[in-house]
Amino acid sequence: MTTLKSIYPLYLNNKAAQPNTDLEVTDKFTGEVAFRVAQADAATINEGIAGAVRAAESMARMASYERQAVLQHCVDRFKQRYDELAYALCVEAGKPIKDSEGEVGRLIDTFRIAAEESVRMTGEVQPLDISPRAKGYQGIWKRVPIGPCSFISPFNFPLNLAAHKIAPALAVGCPFVMKPASRTPLGAIIIGEVLAETDLPEGAFSILPAHREGADLFTEDDRLKLLSFTGSPGVGWELKAKAGKKKVVLELGGNAAVIIDHDADLDDALERVIFGAFYQSGQSCIGVQRIIIHEAVYDRFRDMLVAKTKTLVAGDPKDRATFIGPMISEGEARRLDGWIQQAASGGATLLCGGKREGAMLEATLLEKVDRASAVYREEAFGPVALLSKFSSFDAALAEVNDSKFGLQAGIFTRDLFKMFDAWDRLEVGGVVINDVPSYRVDNMPYGGVKDSGLGREGIRFAMEDMTEIRNLVIRRR
Protein backbone atom coordinates (compact mmCIF):
# COMPACT_ATOMS: atom_id res chain seq x y z
CA MET A 1 0.00 0.00 0.00
CA THR A 2 1.17 3.55 -0.74
CA THR A 3 2.46 5.47 2.26
CA LEU A 4 3.61 9.03 2.74
CA LYS A 5 6.65 10.35 4.56
CA SER A 6 6.05 12.14 7.83
CA ILE A 7 8.16 15.20 6.95
CA TYR A 8 8.63 17.07 3.66
CA PRO A 9 10.99 19.93 2.72
CA LEU A 10 10.41 23.09 0.76
CA TYR A 11 12.43 23.77 -2.39
CA LEU A 12 14.67 26.83 -2.48
CA ASN A 13 16.66 27.59 -5.64
CA ASN A 14 16.21 24.03 -6.94
CA LYS A 15 17.27 22.35 -3.70
CA ALA A 16 15.40 20.70 -0.85
CA ALA A 17 15.62 22.61 2.43
CA GLN A 18 14.24 21.68 5.83
CA PRO A 19 14.45 24.83 7.99
CA ASN A 20 11.51 23.66 10.12
CA THR A 21 8.46 21.37 10.21
CA ASP A 22 6.02 24.14 11.03
CA LEU A 23 3.19 23.37 8.60
CA GLU A 24 0.85 20.60 9.74
CA VAL A 25 -1.17 19.07 6.90
CA THR A 26 -4.18 17.00 7.88
CA ASP A 27 -5.88 14.00 6.37
CA LYS A 28 -9.07 15.79 5.36
CA PHE A 29 -11.27 12.78 6.15
CA THR A 30 -9.91 11.84 9.58
CA GLY A 31 -8.78 15.32 10.60
CA GLU A 32 -5.52 13.88 11.92
CA VAL A 33 -2.11 15.33 11.03
CA ALA A 34 -0.86 13.28 8.07
CA PHE A 35 2.56 14.91 7.61
CA ARG A 36 4.51 18.10 8.23
CA VAL A 37 6.04 20.45 5.67
CA ALA A 38 8.70 23.12 5.95
CA GLN A 39 7.40 26.66 5.83
CA ALA A 40 9.20 29.65 4.34
CA ASP A 41 9.66 32.96 6.12
CA ALA A 42 10.13 36.34 4.45
CA ALA A 43 13.93 35.91 4.24
CA THR A 44 13.54 32.56 2.48
CA ILE A 45 11.03 33.97 0.01
CA ASN A 46 13.35 36.89 -0.69
CA GLU A 47 16.19 34.44 -1.34
CA GLY A 48 14.00 32.49 -3.75
CA ILE A 49 13.10 35.63 -5.69
CA ALA A 50 16.76 36.68 -5.80
CA GLY A 51 17.64 33.23 -7.16
CA ALA A 52 14.99 33.53 -9.86
CA VAL A 53 16.43 36.89 -10.89
CA ARG A 54 19.91 35.39 -11.13
CA ALA A 55 18.58 32.46 -13.17
CA ALA A 56 16.59 34.56 -15.65
CA GLU A 57 19.32 34.93 -18.27
CA SER A 58 20.36 31.27 -18.12
CA MET A 59 16.75 30.15 -18.37
CA ALA A 60 16.13 32.42 -21.35
CA ARG A 61 19.20 31.00 -23.12
CA MET A 62 18.13 27.37 -22.77
CA ALA A 63 17.56 25.73 -26.15
CA SER A 64 14.05 24.57 -26.96
CA TYR A 65 15.08 20.93 -26.90
CA GLU A 66 16.61 21.41 -23.45
CA ARG A 67 13.38 22.85 -22.06
CA GLN A 68 11.49 20.03 -23.72
CA ALA A 69 13.77 17.45 -22.11
CA VAL A 70 13.04 18.86 -18.65
CA LEU A 71 9.30 18.69 -19.26
CA GLN A 72 9.52 15.19 -20.70
CA HIS A 73 11.49 14.06 -17.66
CA CYS A 74 8.59 15.28 -15.52
CA VAL A 75 6.10 13.35 -17.65
CA ASP A 76 8.12 10.15 -17.27
CA ARG A 77 8.61 10.54 -13.52
CA PHE A 78 4.97 11.43 -12.86
CA LYS A 79 3.96 8.22 -14.63
CA GLN A 80 6.36 6.28 -12.42
CA ARG A 81 5.03 7.97 -9.27
CA TYR A 82 1.37 7.82 -10.35
CA ASP A 83 0.07 5.87 -7.31
CA GLU A 84 2.03 8.00 -4.85
CA LEU A 85 0.75 11.23 -6.38
CA ALA A 86 -2.85 10.02 -6.36
CA TYR A 87 -2.68 8.83 -2.75
CA ALA A 88 -1.05 12.08 -1.60
CA LEU A 89 -3.82 14.05 -3.26
CA CYS A 90 -6.49 11.82 -1.72
CA VAL A 91 -5.07 12.42 1.76
CA GLU A 92 -4.24 16.12 1.66
CA ALA A 93 -7.31 17.28 -0.30
CA GLY A 94 -9.85 14.63 0.73
CA LYS A 95 -10.44 13.98 -2.96
CA PRO A 96 -11.94 10.54 -3.75
CA ILE A 97 -9.23 8.23 -5.02
CA LYS A 98 -10.76 7.86 -8.49
CA ASP A 99 -10.88 11.64 -8.86
CA SER A 100 -7.33 11.84 -7.53
CA GLU A 101 -6.15 9.41 -10.18
CA GLY A 102 -7.92 11.50 -12.79
CA GLU A 103 -6.06 14.61 -11.65
CA VAL A 104 -2.70 12.81 -11.87
CA GLY A 105 -3.62 11.92 -15.45
CA ARG A 106 -4.29 15.58 -16.15
CA LEU A 107 -0.98 16.55 -14.51
CA ILE A 108 0.78 14.25 -16.95
CA ASP A 109 -1.23 15.62 -19.88
CA THR A 110 -0.40 19.21 -18.91
CA PHE A 111 3.35 18.60 -18.81
CA ARG A 112 3.17 16.56 -22.02
CA ILE A 113 1.37 19.39 -23.83
CA ALA A 114 3.97 21.85 -22.51
CA ALA A 115 6.78 19.62 -23.77
CA GLU A 116 5.22 19.68 -27.22
CA GLU A 117 4.59 23.43 -27.18
CA SER A 118 8.09 24.26 -25.94
CA VAL A 119 9.52 23.66 -29.43
CA ARG A 120 6.70 25.49 -31.25
CA MET A 121 7.13 29.03 -29.95
CA THR A 122 7.45 31.01 -33.16
CA GLY A 123 7.36 34.62 -34.35
CA GLU A 124 6.45 36.33 -37.59
CA VAL A 125 7.97 38.17 -40.52
CA GLN A 126 6.01 41.40 -41.05
CA PRO A 127 6.18 43.64 -44.12
CA LEU A 128 6.42 47.29 -43.07
CA ASP A 129 6.29 48.98 -46.46
CA ILE A 130 2.70 50.09 -46.07
CA SER A 131 3.51 53.66 -47.18
CA PRO A 132 6.31 55.40 -49.11
CA ARG A 133 8.18 56.36 -45.93
CA ALA A 134 8.61 52.68 -45.02
CA LYS A 135 9.86 51.45 -48.38
CA GLY A 136 12.82 49.15 -47.84
CA TYR A 137 11.92 48.37 -44.23
CA GLN A 138 11.07 44.94 -42.91
CA GLY A 139 9.99 43.73 -39.46
CA ILE A 140 10.48 40.47 -37.61
CA TRP A 141 9.15 39.72 -34.14
CA LYS A 142 9.67 36.91 -31.69
CA ARG A 143 8.57 36.04 -28.17
CA VAL A 144 11.02 36.20 -25.27
CA PRO A 145 10.53 35.12 -21.64
CA ILE A 146 8.98 37.79 -19.45
CA GLY A 147 11.36 36.98 -16.59
CA PRO A 148 10.89 35.81 -12.98
CA CYS A 149 7.30 34.78 -12.25
CA SER A 150 5.28 34.41 -9.07
CA PHE A 151 2.69 31.64 -8.80
CA ILE A 152 0.06 31.13 -6.10
CA SER A 153 -1.93 27.91 -6.45
CA PRO A 154 -5.17 26.76 -4.73
CA PHE A 155 -6.19 23.78 -2.61
CA ASN A 156 -8.78 22.15 -4.86
CA PHE A 157 -6.49 20.95 -7.70
CA PRO A 158 -3.09 20.96 -5.97
CA LEU A 159 -1.40 19.09 -8.81
CA ASN A 160 -2.96 20.24 -12.04
CA LEU A 161 -3.47 23.91 -11.23
CA ALA A 162 0.13 24.11 -10.06
CA ALA A 163 1.08 22.39 -13.32
CA HIS A 164 -0.79 25.01 -15.36
CA LYS A 165 1.62 27.60 -14.02
CA ILE A 166 4.85 25.61 -13.75
CA ALA A 167 4.74 23.78 -17.09
CA PRO A 168 4.28 26.83 -19.36
CA ALA A 169 6.94 28.73 -17.40
CA LEU A 170 9.42 25.93 -18.09
CA ALA A 171 8.28 25.75 -21.71
CA VAL A 172 9.19 29.40 -22.35
CA GLY A 173 12.19 29.66 -20.00
CA CYS A 174 10.86 31.68 -17.05
CA PRO A 175 12.22 31.06 -13.54
CA PHE A 176 9.56 31.09 -10.84
CA VAL A 177 8.69 31.07 -7.19
CA MET A 178 5.51 29.26 -6.14
CA LYS A 179 3.38 29.43 -3.02
CA PRO A 180 1.15 26.34 -2.87
CA ALA A 181 -1.99 26.34 -0.72
CA SER A 182 -1.10 25.64 2.91
CA ARG A 183 -3.90 23.07 3.19
CA THR A 184 -2.57 21.06 0.23
CA PRO A 185 1.14 21.73 -0.37
CA LEU A 186 2.33 18.21 -1.08
CA GLY A 187 1.45 18.03 -4.77
CA ALA A 188 3.64 21.03 -5.55
CA ILE A 189 6.41 19.70 -3.29
CA ILE A 190 6.49 16.41 -5.23
CA ILE A 191 6.68 18.38 -8.49
CA GLY A 192 9.66 20.16 -6.91
CA GLU A 193 11.27 16.80 -6.08
CA VAL A 194 11.03 15.81 -9.73
CA LEU A 195 12.33 19.15 -11.03
CA ALA A 196 15.29 18.88 -8.65
CA GLU A 197 16.37 15.80 -10.62
CA THR A 198 16.94 17.91 -13.75
CA ASP A 199 19.77 20.22 -14.87
CA LEU A 200 17.77 23.44 -14.66
CA PRO A 201 19.91 26.49 -13.84
CA GLU A 202 20.22 27.17 -10.12
CA GLY A 203 17.38 29.44 -9.06
CA ALA A 204 15.07 28.26 -11.82
CA PHE A 205 12.41 27.29 -9.27
CA SER A 206 11.50 27.62 -5.63
CA ILE A 207 8.41 26.01 -4.12
CA LEU A 208 7.73 27.71 -0.83
CA PRO A 209 4.78 26.96 1.42
CA ALA A 210 4.55 30.09 3.51
CA HIS A 211 2.88 31.93 6.35
CA ARG A 212 0.84 34.92 5.30
CA GLU A 213 3.48 36.96 7.09
CA GLY A 214 6.15 37.61 4.49
CA ALA A 215 4.06 36.14 1.69
CA ASP A 216 3.31 39.66 0.41
CA LEU A 217 6.61 39.37 -1.46
CA PHE A 218 4.97 36.93 -3.88
CA THR A 219 2.66 39.78 -4.91
CA GLU A 220 4.45 43.05 -4.27
CA ASP A 221 8.12 42.44 -5.12
CA ASP A 222 9.01 44.49 -8.22
CA ARG A 223 11.67 41.97 -9.28
CA LEU A 224 8.84 39.65 -10.30
CA LYS A 225 7.43 40.34 -13.76
CA LEU A 226 4.22 38.29 -13.62
CA LEU A 227 1.82 37.15 -10.91
CA SER A 228 -0.46 34.20 -11.69
CA PHE A 229 -3.01 33.54 -8.96
CA THR A 230 -5.75 30.93 -8.74
CA GLY A 231 -8.13 31.20 -5.81
CA SER A 232 -10.99 33.19 -4.37
CA PRO A 233 -12.17 36.44 -5.98
CA GLY A 234 -11.82 38.43 -2.77
CA VAL A 235 -8.17 37.54 -2.43
CA GLY A 236 -7.41 37.70 -6.15
CA TRP A 237 -8.62 41.24 -6.75
CA GLU A 238 -6.88 42.43 -3.58
CA LEU A 239 -3.60 40.94 -4.82
CA LYS A 240 -4.02 42.62 -8.20
CA ALA A 241 -4.36 45.98 -6.47
CA LYS A 242 -1.03 45.37 -4.70
CA ALA A 243 0.88 43.88 -7.63
CA GLY A 244 2.34 47.11 -8.95
CA LYS A 245 3.73 47.13 -12.50
CA LYS A 246 3.82 43.38 -13.07
CA LYS A 247 1.44 41.55 -15.37
CA VAL A 248 -1.36 39.79 -13.47
CA VAL A 249 -3.31 36.67 -14.46
CA LEU A 250 -6.25 35.72 -12.25
CA GLU A 251 -8.31 32.52 -12.35
CA LEU A 252 -10.97 33.09 -9.74
CA GLY A 253 -14.39 31.79 -8.83
CA GLY A 254 -17.71 31.13 -10.48
CA ASN A 255 -21.22 29.89 -9.94
CA ALA A 256 -21.58 28.07 -13.21
CA ALA A 257 -24.90 27.36 -14.86
CA VAL A 258 -26.05 24.61 -17.21
CA ILE A 259 -29.13 24.85 -19.44
CA ILE A 260 -31.17 21.70 -20.14
CA ASP A 261 -33.27 22.45 -23.24
CA HIS A 262 -36.43 20.56 -24.18
CA ASP A 263 -34.65 18.55 -26.91
CA ALA A 264 -31.78 17.36 -24.69
CA ASP A 265 -30.96 13.69 -24.22
CA LEU A 266 -31.98 13.61 -20.55
CA ASP A 267 -30.27 10.35 -19.69
CA ASP A 268 -26.98 11.68 -21.04
CA ALA A 269 -27.49 15.07 -19.40
CA LEU A 270 -28.22 13.40 -16.07
CA GLU A 271 -24.87 11.62 -15.91
CA ARG A 272 -22.96 14.74 -16.85
CA VAL A 273 -24.85 17.07 -14.49
CA ILE A 274 -24.35 14.71 -11.56
CA PHE A 275 -20.64 14.70 -12.32
CA GLY A 276 -20.49 18.48 -12.77
CA ALA A 277 -22.37 19.26 -9.57
CA PHE A 278 -20.84 16.76 -7.17
CA TYR A 279 -17.43 15.76 -8.56
CA GLN A 280 -14.85 16.22 -5.76
CA SER A 281 -17.63 17.40 -3.47
CA GLY A 282 -18.42 20.35 -5.71
CA GLN A 283 -15.12 22.07 -4.90
CA SER A 284 -14.44 23.33 -8.40
CA CYS A 285 -14.76 26.87 -9.71
CA ILE A 286 -16.62 25.45 -12.74
CA GLY A 287 -18.75 23.03 -10.73
CA VAL A 288 -22.43 23.06 -11.71
CA GLN A 289 -24.23 25.34 -9.25
CA ARG A 290 -27.31 26.40 -11.23
CA ILE A 291 -29.35 23.95 -13.33
CA ILE A 292 -31.80 25.78 -15.62
CA ILE A 293 -34.34 23.34 -17.09
CA HIS A 294 -36.96 23.83 -19.82
CA GLU A 295 -40.48 23.69 -18.41
CA ALA A 296 -41.45 20.85 -20.77
CA VAL A 297 -38.93 18.49 -19.17
CA TYR A 298 -38.50 20.11 -15.75
CA ASP A 299 -40.47 17.68 -13.61
CA ARG A 300 -39.02 14.61 -15.27
CA PHE A 301 -35.42 15.81 -15.12
CA ARG A 302 -35.80 17.04 -11.53
CA ASP A 303 -37.04 13.63 -10.43
CA MET A 304 -34.20 11.91 -12.28
CA LEU A 305 -31.66 14.18 -10.63
CA VAL A 306 -33.04 13.65 -7.14
CA ALA A 307 -33.13 9.88 -7.53
CA LYS A 308 -29.58 9.73 -8.87
CA THR A 309 -28.21 12.13 -6.25
CA LYS A 310 -29.59 9.96 -3.45
CA THR A 311 -27.52 7.00 -4.72
CA LEU A 312 -24.16 8.78 -4.47
CA VAL A 313 -21.85 7.11 -1.96
CA ALA A 314 -20.31 9.43 0.61
CA GLY A 315 -17.47 8.59 2.95
CA ASP A 316 -13.76 7.83 3.10
CA PRO A 317 -12.11 9.16 -0.08
CA LYS A 318 -9.62 6.27 0.03
CA ASP A 319 -12.50 3.85 -0.64
CA ARG A 320 -12.90 3.34 -4.38
CA ALA A 321 -16.70 3.28 -3.99
CA THR A 322 -16.78 6.82 -2.60
CA PHE A 323 -18.10 9.60 -4.82
CA ILE A 324 -18.60 12.35 -2.21
CA GLY A 325 -15.67 12.96 0.12
CA PRO A 326 -15.16 15.65 2.75
CA MET A 327 -14.97 19.32 2.00
CA ILE A 328 -11.57 20.88 2.57
CA SER A 329 -12.44 21.82 6.17
CA GLU A 330 -15.27 21.70 8.64
CA GLY A 331 -15.40 25.49 8.55
CA GLU A 332 -16.12 25.47 4.82
CA ALA A 333 -18.78 22.80 5.29
CA ARG A 334 -20.42 24.89 8.04
CA ARG A 335 -20.42 27.95 5.77
CA LEU A 336 -22.21 26.17 2.94
CA ASP A 337 -24.57 24.36 5.31
CA GLY A 338 -25.54 27.77 6.65
CA TRP A 339 -26.27 29.03 3.15
CA ILE A 340 -28.43 25.98 2.43
CA GLN A 341 -30.43 26.41 5.65
CA GLN A 342 -30.78 30.14 4.96
CA ALA A 343 -32.19 29.42 1.50
CA ALA A 344 -34.62 26.84 2.89
CA SER A 345 -35.78 29.31 5.55
CA GLY A 346 -36.32 31.85 2.76
CA GLY A 347 -38.77 29.61 0.89
CA ALA A 348 -36.56 27.25 -1.12
CA THR A 349 -37.55 23.61 -1.37
CA LEU A 350 -34.95 21.11 -0.20
CA LEU A 351 -35.21 18.22 -2.65
CA CYS A 352 -32.52 16.03 -1.10
CA GLY A 353 -29.44 16.25 1.11
CA GLY A 354 -28.91 19.20 3.38
CA LYS A 355 -27.30 17.35 6.29
CA ARG A 356 -23.77 17.85 7.60
CA GLU A 357 -21.45 15.91 9.89
CA GLY A 358 -18.09 17.57 10.42
CA ALA A 359 -16.54 18.30 7.02
CA MET A 360 -18.94 15.89 5.30
CA LEU A 361 -21.89 17.61 3.62
CA GLU A 362 -24.52 15.61 1.78
CA ALA A 363 -25.06 16.13 -1.94
CA THR A 364 -27.86 18.69 -1.93
CA LEU A 365 -30.46 19.86 -4.46
CA LEU A 366 -32.68 22.91 -3.96
CA GLU A 367 -35.44 24.49 -6.06
CA LYS A 368 -37.36 27.76 -5.84
CA VAL A 369 -34.30 29.51 -4.43
CA ASP A 370 -34.48 33.27 -3.88
CA ARG A 371 -32.06 34.92 -6.31
CA ALA A 372 -30.95 37.30 -3.58
CA SER A 373 -29.72 34.45 -1.36
CA ALA A 374 -26.03 33.75 -0.81
CA VAL A 375 -26.25 30.23 -2.24
CA TYR A 376 -27.53 31.72 -5.51
CA ARG A 377 -25.39 34.87 -5.75
CA GLU A 378 -22.07 33.62 -4.42
CA GLU A 379 -19.77 30.74 -5.27
CA ALA A 380 -20.98 27.70 -3.28
CA PHE A 381 -17.78 25.68 -3.79
CA GLY A 382 -19.38 22.57 -2.38
CA PRO A 383 -21.93 19.81 -3.10
CA VAL A 384 -25.05 21.86 -3.75
CA ALA A 385 -26.98 22.69 -6.93
CA LEU A 386 -30.05 24.83 -7.53
CA LEU A 387 -32.85 23.97 -9.97
CA SER A 388 -34.97 26.49 -11.85
CA LYS A 389 -37.42 26.43 -14.77
CA PHE A 390 -37.47 28.39 -18.05
CA SER A 391 -39.90 28.72 -20.91
CA SER A 392 -37.92 30.76 -23.47
CA PHE A 393 -34.29 30.32 -24.45
CA ASP A 394 -33.75 34.07 -24.19
CA ALA A 395 -34.84 33.91 -20.55
CA ALA A 396 -32.47 31.02 -19.90
CA LEU A 397 -29.52 32.95 -21.33
CA ALA A 398 -30.46 35.97 -19.23
CA GLU A 399 -30.53 33.78 -16.13
CA VAL A 400 -27.07 32.43 -16.86
CA ASN A 401 -25.83 36.03 -17.18
CA ASP A 402 -27.50 37.03 -13.92
CA SER A 403 -24.27 36.64 -12.01
CA LYS A 404 -21.21 38.66 -11.13
CA PHE A 405 -19.19 35.64 -12.28
CA GLY A 406 -18.52 34.45 -15.81
CA LEU A 407 -16.23 31.45 -16.08
CA GLN A 408 -17.98 28.76 -18.15
CA ALA A 409 -21.54 27.69 -19.01
CA GLY A 410 -22.98 24.46 -20.36
CA ILE A 411 -25.95 23.94 -22.68
CA PHE A 412 -27.65 20.67 -23.59
CA THR A 413 -29.35 21.33 -26.92
CA ARG A 414 -29.46 19.96 -30.46
CA ASP A 415 -30.27 23.35 -31.99
CA LEU A 416 -27.28 24.86 -33.82
CA PHE A 417 -28.88 28.29 -33.88
CA LYS A 418 -29.19 28.26 -30.10
CA MET A 419 -25.59 27.09 -29.80
CA PHE A 420 -24.25 30.06 -31.75
CA ASP A 421 -26.70 32.45 -30.08
CA ALA A 422 -25.42 31.35 -26.68
CA TRP A 423 -21.80 31.65 -27.80
CA ASP A 424 -22.51 35.25 -28.87
CA ARG A 425 -24.51 36.34 -25.85
CA LEU A 426 -23.31 34.53 -22.76
CA GLU A 427 -20.93 36.60 -20.62
CA VAL A 428 -18.51 33.80 -19.88
CA GLY A 429 -15.04 32.70 -20.88
CA GLY A 430 -16.24 29.42 -22.39
CA VAL A 431 -19.47 27.81 -23.61
CA VAL A 432 -19.70 24.01 -23.56
CA ILE A 433 -22.36 22.37 -25.72
CA ASN A 434 -23.94 19.05 -24.68
CA ASP A 435 -21.79 18.89 -21.57
CA VAL A 436 -21.45 20.65 -18.25
CA PRO A 437 -19.42 23.84 -17.64
CA SER A 438 -17.13 21.69 -15.49
CA TYR A 439 -15.53 20.22 -18.63
CA ARG A 440 -11.98 21.29 -19.38
CA VAL A 441 -9.23 19.98 -21.62
CA ASP A 442 -5.79 21.18 -20.61
CA ASN A 443 -4.77 22.68 -23.96
CA MET A 444 -7.83 24.90 -24.43
CA PRO A 445 -7.98 28.61 -23.53
CA TYR A 446 -9.51 28.62 -20.07
CA GLY A 447 -10.48 31.59 -17.95
CA GLY A 448 -13.29 33.95 -17.13
CA VAL A 449 -14.74 37.43 -17.33
CA LYS A 450 -16.35 39.74 -14.78
CA ASP A 451 -15.39 38.65 -11.24
CA SER A 452 -14.09 35.32 -12.53
CA GLY A 453 -10.72 36.72 -13.49
CA LEU A 454 -8.29 38.04 -16.08
CA GLY A 455 -6.33 36.25 -18.79
CA ARG A 456 -6.38 32.65 -19.95
CA GLU A 457 -4.72 29.43 -18.93
CA GLY A 458 -4.17 26.44 -21.20
CA ILE A 459 -0.55 25.85 -22.07
CA ARG A 460 -0.13 27.86 -25.28
CA PHE A 461 -2.17 30.74 -23.91
CA ALA A 462 -0.29 30.81 -20.61
CA MET A 463 2.96 30.78 -22.58
CA GLU A 464 1.82 33.95 -24.34
CA ASP A 465 1.25 35.64 -20.96
CA MET A 466 4.71 34.54 -19.82
CA THR A 467 6.43 36.06 -22.83
CA GLU A 468 6.82 39.49 -24.39
CA ILE A 469 7.07 40.40 -28.05
CA ARG A 470 10.46 41.71 -29.11
CA ASN A 471 10.45 43.44 -32.47
CA LEU A 472 13.33 43.77 -34.99
CA VAL A 473 13.19 46.42 -37.73
CA ILE A 474 15.57 46.13 -40.67
CA ARG A 475 16.29 48.93 -43.14
CA ARG A 476 17.37 47.39 -46.42
CA ARG A 477 19.55 49.83 -48.36
pLDDT band at 68 (very low <50, low <70, confident <90, very high): very high
Q: List all residues 6 or more positions away from 415 whose beta carbon is below 8 Å from its beta carbon.
A: 261, 263
* pLDDT one-digit tens code per residue, 245-265: 999 999 999 999 999 999 999
Longest dimension (CA), the chain: 80
Long-range contacts of 80-89 (CB under 8 A, 24+ apart): 81/190, 81/194, 82/108, 83/2, 84/2, 84/4, 84/190, 85/159, 85/187, 85/190, 86/2, 87/2, 87/4, 87/318, 88/4, 88/186, 88/187, 88/190, 89/158, 89/159, 89/184, 89/186, 89/187
Q: How many CA atoms lie within 13 A of 419 on its CB side?
A: 11
Residue pair 465/260 in contact by the 8 Å Cβ criterion? no
Task: Output the DSSP codes for 355-387.
Answer: -EETTEE--EEEES--TTSHHHHS---SSEEEE
When pLDDT is cut at 50, 70 and 90, the band that residue 3 belongs to is confident
Between β-strands 23-26 and 33-37, what pairing exists: parallel, antiparallel or unpaired?
antiparallel
Would you say residue 274 has pLDDT above 70? yes
Nearest Cα neighbor of 185 from 211, 205, 167 is 211
Collapsed DSSP state (helix, strand, coil) of residue 96: coil
- Report pLDDT digits (tens) over 315-361: 999 999 999 999 999 999 999 999 999 999 999 999 999 999 999 99
| Residues ≥6 apart with Cβ < 8 Å to 274 | 305, 308, 309, 312
Catalytic residues: 251, 285
Residue 35, pLDDT > 90, answer yes
Q: How far is CA 17 from CA 48, 144, 192, 333, in A?
A: 12, 31, 11, 35
pLDDT for the residue numbered 1: 59
Q: pTM, whole model, 2 decimals?
A: 0.96
Question: What does the pLDDT read at residue 213?
Answer: 75
For residue 224, pLDDT over 70 is answered with yes
What's phi and psi for 36, nearest 5 deg? -125, 145
The answer to whether the CB of 208 falls within 8 A of the CB of 217 is no
Q: Note the pLDDT of residue 268.
A: 98
Of the candidates 148, 246, 165, which has an alpha carbon nearest to the alpha carbon of residue 201?
A: 148
Q: What are phi and psi of 172, to 5 degrees?
A: -100, -15
Task: Classify burial at 41, counting beta carbons within 10 Å of its beta carbon; exposed 0-12, middle 13-18, buried 19 or more.
Answer: middle
